[in-house]
Amino acid sequence: MNISNTLSNTATSFSKPDGREGFSLGLRAAALGLLVLFVGRLYANVLTPIESVANWVIPRIPMAWFETGLDVLGGYAKPLLYGGFAGALLLVGALGGSAYLTASRRRPASRRAIGALTLLPAAALIVAWLLVADGGVFGLSALAWLVYALGVVGPVLVREGFSTTEVQSRSRRRFLERGLTTGATLLAVGGLGAVLIKLVERMSVTSVDVRTAGMPAPFTPVDEFYQVSKNLVNPQVDAASWRLTLSGMVERPYALTLPQLRALPPVNQDETLTCISNPVGGGLIGNAHWKGVSLSSLLERAGVQAGAVDVKLTCADGYTESFPIAKAMEPEVVLAYEMNGAPLTDSHGAPARLLVPNIYGMKNTKWLEKIEIVGTDYQGYWQRQGWSDTAIIQLISQVRVPGKADKIQAGSAVKVGGIAFAGSRGVAKVEWSADAGTTWREARLGEEVALNSWRFWEADWTPERSGPAVLTARVTDGKGAVQIAEESPTLPNGSTGFHLVPVNVT
C-alpha cells in the first residue's frame, strides 16, 4: 500500500463517527501520558524521552546548521523543538486512538489482541527499566505508555464489554462512559496545563538579542544576565543533597556539601562572562559580583598528583568540560555560590558554578557536581562538536550610544560610548571612529572595576555635516594587542571584527 492510499484510508476512517470518537479518545489519553512524563521531569528530575532523543540528535547536527537554526528561530529554538516533539506525540496518540476504535468495532473478536498489542510496549519498557540501572526514562516512558493504552483501550472495553454481564443497562453504561470521559478530559487539560506552565519556566531559552543601543548597568541584574546551555530544560539541583566530589589523580579524594563549601574562606570577585556564540555587538555578555572559594585551594587540599594534565568537569545535566591544570591553579579561578549578593539562581548554575577568567563561558560550567583530575587532554561536550578547546576570549568592543534610531544634528555635540573587554589582559586603550574606521580618535576610559571586568568608554562627537555616518570602536589590551578588524564567525574560536553602528546626521 502506498502513502497516498494510507492517507486516504486514514482520512476516510476519521470522517466516520468511530474515527472521530477514537481521535478524541486518543488525544486525551496521549495528553495524560505526557502529563506523566512532565510530572516526572519536574518532580523526580527524570529526563523525558523527548529530551533523551534531543540530547542524542543535537550533538550530531552540523554546527553550521545549528547556528543557522538559532539565527532563524532565535533563542526559542529549543523550546520550539520540545513543543514540536510533544505535539507530534499528541497527534500520534490521537491517530492511534482513532485506528484502534475503528478496528475494534469492525472486528470485535480482535479487540483483545489489539488491546494486548497496545499494552505490549509498556511491558517491554518496564522490563528494560528493571534491567538498566539508571533507566528512569524507560520506566517513565513505560508508565506514560500504560496510561495512554489504558486511556484508549479502557473506555472502549467499558463501552463494548467483554461480556454482556459487565454492563447491564444503557443508562449505567452512558453514566460510566461520560464520567470517564469528563474526568479524563479535566485531568488531561487541567493537569497538563498547570505542569506545562512550570515546565516553561525552566525551559532553556538562549539569549540571542543584539544590544546595540543603551549603556548597560556596571553590574548586570541577575534576571537580565544572559544564559546559554545545551539543555531543553535546565536542571534544578537540590541544594540540601548536593555534593561536590574531587577525585581522579589526587592523593586525598573528598566531597563537600554546600554548607561545607560556604564555610571555607570566601573570595569576592568582579568578573565579566561572555559566550563564544556571541556575535559582534551581541548581548551574550554580562558583568557581575561573585562570591565563592578559589579552586586552587580545593585542589591543594586534594593533593594533585604528578602527571596531571586537565581538570575534567561534570555537571548535573551531564555536561562535561575541561581546562588545563595550570589554569586551574590560578587564584582567580573561583567556584562561586553567590551572584550579585544573592545565592545563585537555577538558570545560572545553582548551587555552584565555576568562573574561569579569560576563557569563554562554555568552560565556566554551571550546576557543577564533579571535579576530576585526568592525565590526558579531555575533550568536552562542545569541543567534540568542533568548538575551540582553549576558548581564549577575543578582544571585544561595542558602541552602545548613540543608537541607530537616535536623532543626531550636525553642529550639535553628542555622547558616544560603549563597552570594551579583554578578559584578564585588561583594557589599556579604546579608540573610536565616525567613518567606519578610516580615522581613529582615542576615547576616555571609565574607572576599572576589576581586571577581569568590562570597561566603559566615552567620547564627545560634534558632527560637522549632515548625512550617513558609521560609528565603530577598537580596543587595545594590556599586553599591546589590538582588536582584530577581520570579520570571522563565532565558530570555532569566537567572533572577530569591529562593531559598526550606522547613524544618520540631520
Per-residue pLDDT tens for 421-437?
A: 999 999 999 999 999 99
| Per-residue confidence band for 176, with pLDDT thresholds at 50, 70 and 90 | low
- Residues 40-62: what's their mean pLDDT? 74
Write out the three cell numbers for 337.
Answer: 555560590
Whether 456 has a pLDDT exceeding 70, the answer reads yes
Q: Is 291 left (phi over 0), alpha (psi -120 to 50) or beta?
A: beta
| Per-residue confidence band for 326, with pLDDT thresholds at 50, 70 and 90 | very high
Phi, psi of 38 (to 5 degrees): -70, -40
pLDDT at residue number 92: 77
pLDDT at residue number 96: 74
- What is the three-state SS of 138-199? HHHHHHHHHHHHHHHHHHHHHHHCCCCCCCCCHHHHHHHHHHHHHHHHHHHHHHHHHHHHHH
Q: For 366-377, what is each residue's pLDDT tens digit?
A: 999 999 999 999
Least confident of 63-67, 92-96, 294-298: 63-67
Query: In Å, how far are 11, 104, 110, 156 from 107, measured between CA atoms?
Result: 20, 5, 6, 13
- Residues of CATH 3.90.420.10 domain(s) within the chain? 222-385
pLDDT at residue number 27: 77
Looking at per-residue confidence, does 91 or 78 come out higher? 91
Q: CATH number of the domain at 222-385, out of 3.40.50.1110, 1.20.1050.40, 3.90.420.10, 1.10.620.20?
A: 3.90.420.10
Three-class secondary structure of residue 91 per DSSP: helix
- What CA–CA distance (Å, rounded) separates 199 from 232? 10
pLDDT at residue number 132: 46
**High-pLDDT (> 90) share of the chain, %:** 51
Write out the three cell numbers for 195.
Answer: 505542569
Whether 460 has a pLDDT exceeding 50, the answer reads yes
CATH of domain 396-505: 2.60.40.650
Q: For 115-172, what is each residue's pLDDT tens digit?
A: 555 555 555 555 555 444 445 555 666 666 666 666 666 665 555 544 444 444 555 5
| Per-residue confidence band for 352, with pLDDT thresholds at 50, 70 and 90 | very high
Beta-strand relationship, 368-374 and 243-248? parallel
Query: In Å, how far are 122, 149, 154 from 117, measured between CA atoms?
Result: 10, 10, 14
Beta-strand relationship, 444-445 and 310-315? unpaired
Whether 177 has a pLDDT exceeding 80, the answer reads no
Whether 388 has a pLDDT exceeding 90, the answer reads yes
Q: Are 293 and 261 in contact (CB under 8 A)?
A: yes
| Per-residue confidence band for 38, with pLDDT thresholds at 50, 70 and 90 | confident
Largest CA distance in the chain: 97
| Per-residue confidence band for 16, with pLDDT thresholds at 50, 70 and 90 | low
Query: In Å, how far are 87, 246, 368, 449 from 255, measured between CA atoms?
Result: 43, 6, 13, 34
Q: Are 221 and 289 in contact (CB under 8 A)?
A: no
**High-pLDDT (> 70) share of the chain, %:** 71
pLDDT at residue number 80: 75
* Enclosing H/E stretch for 128: helix 111-131
For the question of whether the overall pTM of this predicted structure is more than 0.95, the answer is no
- What CA–CA distance (Å, rounded) separates 466 from 411? 9
Whether 17 has a pLDDT exceeding 50, the answer reads yes
Whether 190 has a pLDDT exceeding 80, the answer reads no
- What CA–CA distance (Å, rounded) separates 216 from 219? 8
Whether 244 has a pLDDT exceeding 70, the answer reads yes
- Residues of CATH 2.60.40.650 domain(s) within the chain? 396-505
Q: Which range has highest mean pLDDT (50-64, 114-128, 188-202, 283-297)?
A: 283-297
Three-class secondary structure of residue 20 per DSSP: helix
Measured in Å, how far apart are the chain's first and last C-alpha atoms? Answer: 69
Query: Residue 24: how many CB atoms within 10 A of its CB?
Result: 16
Looking at per-residue confidence, does 159 or 224 come out higher? 224
Least confident of 150-159, 281-290, 491-500: 150-159
- What CA–CA distance (Å, rounded) separates 87 from 185? 17
Phi, psi of 264 (to 5 degrees): -75, 160
Whether 64 has a pLDDT exceeding 60, the answer reads yes
| Helices H / strands E in the chain, number of each | 12, 18
Per-chain mean pLDDT for the chain? 81
- Residues 202-225: what's their mean pLDDT? 74
